Amino acid sequence: MSVKDEIFRYIDSHKEEMIERRRHLHENPELSFHEDETAQYLAEFYQDKAVSLETGIGERGLKVTIDSGRPGKTVALRADFDALPIEEATGLPFASKNKGVMHACGHDGHTAYLMTLAEAFLSIKDQLKGKIVLIHQPAEEMPPGGALQMIKDGVLDGVDNVFGAHVMTSMKLGTVAYHHGETQNSRARFKVTVRGKGGHGSSPHEANDAIVIACQLVIALQNIVSRRLSPFENGVVTIGSFDGKGSFNVIKETVTIEGDVRAMSEETASTIEKNVKEICAGIASAYHCEIDCDYVRDYPVLYNDPEMTDLVIDAIQKADIPEVTDLIDCGPQAPSEDFSYFAKERPSCFFYIGATREGETAYPHHHPKFDIDEDCLVVAAKAMGAVALHYLEID
């Protein structure tokens, strides 16, 4: 029996444990930068195993090293474990016990499959070579993100390459998807405060209406994508908050708007930032008011290294995983992902695992009814296991 077959057999025989772990995590979600119990749960899981365990990486992250004791490369596999500020509406028997907090993005599944895969690797440790580093990362959902701090704390020291995977309800169960190059958008956010001059609704000539100015600003910002970017560039500017509430007969003195920016290249991201700031300055000049713009760029574009992506494709094709029915190029994905920080530091690949059975209703990520078909955990564990073995050149 090959090493791959032993790994697959272990995953199959421990499927129920993997599902139980996912359900435990789903019942006990914690928000980004507050995942104390989850970090403790993971630390207790690894503490008696034949691994090198480092906790508190990036405050709550874990670096788990499986060292074969034989020469070889060092590969890192990453899974995130934070949840979202969403009130769950799935009705599942293992629904969140924490009001207003929910695993609505699949990070519970990521963590559960990597825990089981770790045990599978340990079961054949004497047949491994090199090192496998498991990165359990907090705070993917909330800027500045957990990856950046873990990197600053040395989680990638000694690591040659990194692989990550994300379950996707937008893809059917049995699908493994990939994309070369720029794969997920960068992200930025801005907060703009417009300060005009308040006044009485009956005497607008004596005031400088911040609502009117802010409305002009919103329209101008929406024109960045349609009129400042090439049709061949991908960019999004979203105004998500317009705080202009006041009394019906009072002209507002101050209005605050907040927005979100996505782009598929760093050049496009820079173009949008430049235009947001210039528009704010221009409208402030035209309307004789003050406009403060706080613009913050966080997650960069997620870039999948072509060589590492080809390795993923080759590994899954050769592994002949029974549960994998499709291996596809899914094209660029609109959301942002802080795995991008790992990919900036080391040639990496981030790929996707279909999580919705054909014919079933698929709720999008971050939806109160989001759920995954738990058979996708087997696909994720086997796919990532196959990638790691192929990377380490183990038959």
Are 227 and 146 in a shared domain?
Answer: no
Are 155 and 37 in a shared domain?
Answer: yes
Q: What pLDDT digit, counting tens, does each position of 286-304 carry? A: 999 999 999 999 999 999 9
What amino acid occupies position 146?
G
Q: What pLDDT digit, counting tens, does each position of 159-196 carry? A: 999 999 999 999 999 999 999 999 999 999 999 999 99
What is this structure's pTM? 0.94
Matching residue, tokens 């054949």: 124
Cβ within 8 Å of residue 150, ≥6 positions away:
57, 58, 61, 63, 135, 137
Question: Computed from CA positions of residues 272, 277, 279, 280, in that sequence, does the dihedral angle turn out positive or negative?
Answer: positive
Are 35 and 97 in a shared domain?
Answer: yes
Are 30 and 98 in a shared domain?
Answer: yes
Q: How buried is 325 (Cβ within 10 angstroms: 0-12 exposed, 13-18 middle, 19+ buried)?
A: middle
Q: Which domain holds residue 230?
A: 186-297
Positions marked catalytic: 82, 140
* H or E, element range at 122: helix 107-123
Matching residue, tokens 């049709």: 231
* H or E, element range at 191: strand 186-195
Are 14 and 93 in a shared domain?
Answer: yes
Q: 271: domain CATH number?
A: 3.30.70.360
- Write down which residue in 272, 297, 322 finishes a domain: 297
Are 178 and 213 in a shared domain?
Answer: no
Q: How many domains does the chain have?
A: 2
- Write down which residue in 297, 330, 360 finishes a domain: 297
Q: What pLDDT digit, counting tens, does each position of 2-32 carry? A: 999 999 999 999 999 999 999 999 999 999 9
CB neighbours of residue 50 within 10 Å: 9
Are 191 and 292 in a shared domain?
Answer: yes
- Write down which residue in 270, 297, 324 finishes a domain: 297
Residue pLDDT tens, the chain, 395 long: 899 999 999 999 999 999 999 999 999 999 999 999 999 999 999 999 999 999 999 999 999 999 999 999 999 999 999 999 999 999 999 999 999 999 999 999 999 999 999 999 999 999 999 999 999 999 999 999 999 999 999 999 999 999 999 999 999 999 999 999 999 999 999 999 999 999 999 999 999 999 999 999 999 999 999 999 999 999 999 999 999 999 999 999 999 999 999 999 999 999 999 999 999 999 999 999 999 999 999 999 999 999 999 999 999 999 999 999 999 999 999 999 999 999 999 999 999 999 999 999 999 999 999 999 999 999 999 999 999 999 999 97
Encode 104-128: b = buried (16+ Cβ within 10 Å), e = exposed: bbbbbbbbbbbbbbbbbbbebeebb
Are 221 and 352 in a shared domain?
Answer: no
CB neighbours of residue 130 within 10 Å: 20
